[in-house]
Amino acid sequence: MRTRAAVAVEAGKPLEIMEVNLEGPKAGEVLVEIKATGICHTDEFTLSGADPEGMFPAILGHEGAGVVLEVGPGVTSLKPGDHVIPLYTPECRECEYCLNPKTNLCQSIRSTQGQGLMPDGTSRFSMLDGTPILHYMGCSTFSNHTVLPEIALAKVRKDAPFDKICYIGCGVTTGIGAVINTAKAEIGNRSIVFGLGGIGLNVIQGLRMAGADQIVGVDLNPAKVEMAKRFGMTDFVNPTEVEGDLVGHLVELTGGGADYTFDATGNVQVMRTALESAHKGWGESIIIGVAPAGAEISTRPFQLVTGRSWRGTAFGGARGRTDVPQIVDWYMDGKIEIDPMITHTMGLDDINKGFDLMHAGESIRSVVVY
C-alpha cells in the first residue's frame, strides 16, 4: 500500500512529508493505522544526528496510538479493529529478560530494532523510487500506517482518545514509571526533578501519586514553572539564579539531600548534579535523559562509597503489553492527567513546527493528529 509519512532524510534537516510504500504484515506482524503521535525529545535527539544508532533515511516517531487494520500469519493476540499503542520496549514474555522480574528490557528483537529493521532483517517502508526507508525504535509513528511485531503492541480500551493516550506510548509511562517501577518511591519522600519537559512533568505527577512530601523542580526555562506547580512541584530552582554551588543549594533545600533525584534533561553535567544532590547514605539518582554519542558521566567514586546510587530507566521500567493498558485506565478514571501537557496539536504537514516549538521551549508535548 501507499501511505503518508514524515521522512527523516538526513540528520539535522527538517522532516519531508511524502507518500511512501508500505509492505503488508508478514508472519507475527501487524499493520496499524496511526491516529495520533506525540513528538518526544528522543525523536529530536535522533534527527539531530546525536544518536549513535541514528540512521537515515528513516521514519521516526515512537509515541503513537492507532487501530489494527490487518494481522499477519500466526498473530493471535490482536485482530482488525483493536486499538493499540506501539511499544519501543516490546514484551515477548519468553526471553531471558522478560522472565527476569528485575528488568523490562525485552531483548527478543532489540538487535534488528536498533538497525531500523523488522525482526526478519528487512524494512517494510520504501520511497516511491524503491529506496528503502528504515524503521525507528520499532515504531515509526510519523507514518499514517506502520507495521510492527505483535509483541510490540499494547491492546487498549476503545473509548480512550488517541490524541491523548498516544503520550502513554512514551512520556507518561516513562515519567510515572521512573517513580513507581524504578525508584519505588515511598510515601513522604523528598525528590528533585531536573528538566520540566514532557518527561519531567510526568515524574512530578508520579511523585505526587507516590505521596512525596517535597518535589523540587530544576529547569533553565522559567516558562515551565506554572505547569510543574500544577502537577505537584513544591519548589523551583533555576540554576542560573543560584549564587554559588548548585549542589549545596539543593542539599540545603531538601534538608540534607533528596531521597530520589531524576535527570530528565539528557545533559551529563546535570546528571552529575543530580547524583551529588541525592542524600548521603541512601539517595538514589535515576537517569532518564538520553545523552549524545560520546558523552560520558563522571563523579568522585566517594559519592557512591558514601551511599548514593546511580541508576537508569528505559520506558519507566514498564512492561508495555501488561502495564500500558492499565495506565490508559488510570487516565480514563481520572487518576492521572494528560490533557494539559499536550500544549499543541497539528497535522502531519506541520510536524516540523512541533520540533520548532520544542527547540524554542514553548511546548510541553506537541501531538500530530492524522
> Does residue 294 belong to the site contacting ligand AHE (CB under 6 A)?
no
CB of 266 to ligand AHE, least distance (A): 9
Binding-site member from 75, 290, 324, 357 for ligand AHE (CB under 6 A): 290
Asked if residues 87 and 153 have their Cβ atoms less than 8 Å apart, the reply is yes
> Does residue 343 belong to the site contacting ligand NAD (CB under 6 A)?
no
CB within 8 Å of 117: residues ≥ 6 apart: 123, 134, 135
Nearer to ligand NAD, 45 or 56 (CB): 45
Indicate if 42 belongs to the active site.
yes
Per CB under 6 A, contacts with ligand NAD among 256-275 are 264-267, 270
What is the rounded distance in angstroms from the CA atom of residue 6 to the CA atom of residue 352?
Answer: 9
* Nearest C-alpha neighbor of 274 from the set 226, 316, 216: 216
Nearer to Zn ion, 35 or 41 (CB): 41
Collapsed DSSP state (helix, strand, coil) of residue 164: helix
Catalytic residue (one of 37, 98, 139, 166): 98
What is the rounded distance in angstroms from the CA atom of residue 356 to the CA atom of residue 358?
Answer: 5
User: Which DSSP category does 162 fall into?
Assistant: H
Per CB under 6 A, contacts with ligand NAD among 220-249 are 220-221, 224, 239
Nearer to ligand AHE, 33 or 44 (CB): 44
Catalytic residue (one of 3, 29, 37, 40): 40
Which of the stretches 33-41, 228-236, 301-309, 321-329 binds Zn ion when contact is defined by CB under 5 A? 33-41
Q: Which three cell numbers stand for residue 162?
A: 488517541
What is the rounded distance in angstroms from the CA atom of residue 100 to the CA atom of residue 96?
Answer: 6
Angle between helix 41-48 and 351-359 (nearest 10): 90
Cα-only R_g, the chain: 20
Collapsed DSSP state (helix, strand, coil) of residue 172: helix
Angle between helix 268-276 and 246-253 (nearest 10): 40
Collapsed DSSP state (helix, strand, coil) of residue 304: helix
CB of 290 to ligand AHE, least distance (A): 4
By rule CB under 6 A, what string of x and - marks binding of each residue 132-171 to ligand AHE? --------------------------------------x-
Nearer to Zn ion, 174 or 303 (CB): 174
Indicate if 170 belongs to the active site.
yes
> Does residue 218 belong to the site contacting ligand NAD (CB under 6 A)?
yes
> Does residue 284 belong to the site contacting ligand NAD (CB under 6 A)?
no
User: Which DSSP category does 3 fall into?
Assistant: E
CA atoms within 13 A on the CB side of 304: 9
Which of the stretches 38-46, 221-229, 265-273, 339-347 binds Zn ion when contact is defined by CB under 5 A? 38-46
What is the rounded distance in angstroms from the CA atom of residue 64 to the CA atom of residue 22?
Answer: 18
Quick one: how far is CA 166 from the chain centroid? 11
Collapsed DSSP state (helix, strand, coil) of residue 156: strand
Strands 214-218 and 190-194, sheet pairing = parallel
> Does residue 68 belong to the site contacting ligand NAD (CB under 6 A)?
no
Nearer to ligand NAD, 201 or 348 (CB): 201
Angle formed at CA 57 by CA 107 and CA 16, multiple of 5 degrees: 125
> Does residue 40 belong to the site contacting Zn ion (CB under 5 A)?
yes
> Does residue 46 belong to the site contacting ligand NAD (CB under 6 A)?
no
Catalytic residue (one of 4, 44, 95, 311): 95
CB of 222 to ligand AHE, least distance (A): 25
> Does residue 315 belong to the site contacting ligand AHE (CB under 6 A)?
yes
> Does residue 169 belong to the site contacting ligand NAD (CB under 6 A)?
no
Binding-site member from 183, 212, 358, 368 for ligand NAD (CB under 6 A): 358
Q: Point out which residues bind ligand AHE (CB under 6 A).
A: 40, 42, 51-53, 88-89, 105, 110, 170, 290, 314-315
* Catalytic residue list: 40-42, 62-63, 92, 95, 98, 106, 110, 170, 365
Q: Point out which residues bind Zn ion (CB under 5 A).
A: 40, 42, 170
